[in-house]
Amino acid sequence: MQPNGRDRPFRDPCLTYPSGGGSCRAMRVVVDLELCEGNAVCASVAPEIFVVGDDDLARVKLEPVPEALRAKVEVAVRRCPRQALAIKE
Ligand code: SF4
């Protein structure tokens, strides 16, 4: 099992086909640390992207967010009970 929870290694199409095809948009996600309450909903939904530290604040582990993980990040943004996550494109 790979760290991405799949049987095969994750391959980011943006790295495979850099600047080609128009399908690779650089996506970032930011945590508003003033709002975050550390309940780790985001890390539960997208552990490849978020981690909650000993200070009970979420951090982004991976930037830019690979396109293949966009859907998981969008779910995490929707489920964050403090609305502390925002996608930046
Ligand atoms: S779900 Fe929201 S409030 Fe909870 S740890 Fe993640 S960013 Fe913070």
pLDDT for res 19? 47
For the stretch 32-59, what's the b/e string if a residue is b when 16 or more beta carbons lie within 10 angstroms of its beta carbon?
A: eeeebebeebbbebbbbbbebeeeeebe
In the structure encoding, which two tokens stand for residue 57, read together? 């604040």
CA angle at 58 for the pair 57 and 64, rounded to the nearest 5°: 150
Residue nearest to atom 3 of ligand 1 (CA): 36
Mean pLDDT of the chain: 85
Task: Tell me which of 30, 41, 61, 78 to substitute to probe ligand 1's pocket, judged by most ligand atoms within 8 Å of the beta carbon.
Answer: 41
pLDDT for res 33? 98
pLDDT for res 31? 98
Going from the N-terminus, what domains does the chain have, and what CATH number goes with each? 25-88 (3.30.70.20)
Residue 85 three-state SS: strand
pLDDT for res 26? 86
In the structure encoding, which two tokens stand for residue 37, read together? 């309450």
**pLDDT digit string, tens, across residues 34-74:** 999 999 999 999 999 999 999 999 999 999 999 999 999 99
Tell me whether residue 9 is exposed, middle or buried, using C-beta atoms within 10 angstroms of its C-beta: 0 to 12, 13 to 18, 19 or more.
Answer: exposed
Q: Where are the alpha helices (DSSP H) in 9-84?
A: 13-16, 41-45, 70-79
Residue 36 Cβ inside 6 Å of ligand 1? The answer reads: yes
Q: What is the reported pTM?
A: 0.76
pLDDT for res 88? 94
